[in-house]
């Protein structure tokens, strides 16, 4: 691989890292929104539960009423974690590419000057 190709791969890796950071930001916002909706829905469901004789029964009815909100929140959390892993992976790839660039630079210097 020549210096131009290595440079292009470094730029591509940096762009993928930027894109994954943007995706992580968006997924984090979506998770926060889903968590807010879940907590609000849970509170409303709990307060509007009628006919329950015990606290446990009231909580069970409230939880049942917000299954969809909990699912959306859990999915948003999973996607946020997945986006974080993509950031970590792209960061590692960029670091590896930087190591290769440094090695290439050292090899070129050695070829010019010798041992």
Residue 67 pLDDT: 95
Give how many domains the chain has, as a whole number. 1
Query: 71 is in which domain, residue-wise?
Result: 3-113
* Cα 45 from Cα 55, distance rounded (Å): 13
Q: Would you say the C-alpha torsion 6, 7, 12, 16 has a positive or negative sign?
A: positive
pTM of the model: 0.79
The conformation of residue 90, written as its DSSP 8-state character, comes to H
* Cα 10 from Cα 85, distance rounded (Å): 20
Residuewise pLDDT in 10s, the chain (115 residues): 787 888 889 999 999 999 999 999 999 999 999 999 999 999 999 999 888 789 999 999 999 999 999 999 999 999 999 999 999 999 999 999 899 888 888 888 888 887 6
Residue 22 pLDDT: 97
């Amino acid at each position: 691989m020549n210096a131009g190709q290595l440079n292009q791969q470094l730029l591509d890796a940096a762009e993928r890292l930027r894109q994954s950071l943007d995706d992580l930001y968006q997924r984090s916002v979506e998770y926060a929104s889903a968590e807010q909706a879940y907590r609000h829905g849970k509170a409303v469901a709990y307060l509007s539960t009628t006919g329950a004789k015990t606290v446990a029964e009231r909580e069970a009815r409230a939880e049942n009423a917000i299954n969809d909100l909990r699912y959306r929140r859990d999915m948003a959390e999973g996607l946020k974690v997945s986006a974080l892993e993509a950031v970590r992976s792209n960061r590692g790839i960029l670091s590896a590419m930087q190591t290769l660039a440094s090695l290439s630079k050292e090899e070129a210097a050695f070829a010019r000057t010798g041992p």
